[in-house]
Amino acid sequence: MILTVTPNPAVDHTIHFDEPLQPGVVHRTDDAVFTAGGKGINVAKYVSALDADVTASGFLGGHFGKFVRDRLDADGIASDFVTVDADTRLNTTVLAEDGEYKLNHNGPQIRAADVDELVETAQANEPDTLLVGGSLPPGMSLADVDRLARAGDWQIAVDMGGEYLAELEADYYVCKPNRSELAAATGRTVETEADAIEAAEELHARGFEYVLASLGADGALLVTDSEVLSAPALDVEVVDTVGAGDAVMSGFLAAREHGLSDADALRMGVLTASRVVGVAGTRAPNLEDVLTNETHVEVTTVRSR
């Protein structure tokens, strides 16, 4: 079973305008989507759609927290959240003719007792794999993430900012940086595939068993103990990039939960992302063809290690 921990979940509010945004102008639209969001919650949705056993956890509070719980229940996704006093945040993505705008809240204040309860919740669920995904709310530290990593007999995955990855001290199963996060985590310039490989290998050497690097239109890389694998991105119509990186991690974790190989896990990650970018917001698209591998993705060995 996979337990996803979202320390700072959100209600994701996505709105679309068929015009450029202008200051001082009231823009109106009927095209709005509200979904339960946050990296770990997104992963729970996608992993569930990939037919793997998953439970979502983290911190929730207030009306927006109730919305997240209710939406997960409606989607048939098990959850076991810690209730906090402050309100869960609202994150807004505006898709307009002139670009994509993101407006995110910081999140609720978390107390030491809340973190204690989260650790106890994780231990009670006894997952095979525990994922910590997304930003940390005020009051929670990276030491708390390391504490989660060491609190049970599970593999721990992280999908966090590069500045976080650089400071984690425990041993981790897998991390999923994008290009900018690879640069932030290593202090390297990451422009080419060769740059990304070098940065990912440096992260691997720091204690990550797998480094799964999502490179947008350039596909994805997977650094293992024995090799570096590469998979190209698929040529698909991109509607919304929100959740694309979460989808890569979801495909990887679901594949490993199903007992698939490293190459098939990378392939499933890229396929899942190609379906997620085709819908607005972070709702799970139909992923049946990902499970049946009807769409071919060629995974190559870039180098042996």
**Residue 246 bears catalytic tag:** yes
Q: Going along 161-271, which residue ranges are E strands?
A: 172-175, 208-214, 220-223, 227-231
Instruction: Answer yes or no: are the C-beta atoms of 43 and 57 closer than 8 Å.
Output: no
Encoding tokens for residue 54? 């998953």
Is residue 242 within 8 Å of 215, Cβ to Cβ? Answer: no
Out of 159, 246, 262, 264, which one is annotated catalytic? 246
The residue among 230, 239, 302 whose CA lies nearest residue 266 is 230
What CA–CA distance (Å, rounded) separates 68 from 128?
Answer: 24
Q: d(Cα 181, Cα 175) in Å, to the nearest integer?
A: 11
Partnered with residue 222 across adjacent β-strands are 212, 229
Phi and psi dihedrals of 168, rounded to 5? -65, 145
CB neighbour burial string for 203-226, b if at least 16 within 10 angstroms, e if fewer:
bbebebebbbbbbeeebbbbbbee
CA nearest to 221, candidates 245, 197, 185: 197
Catalytic residues: 246
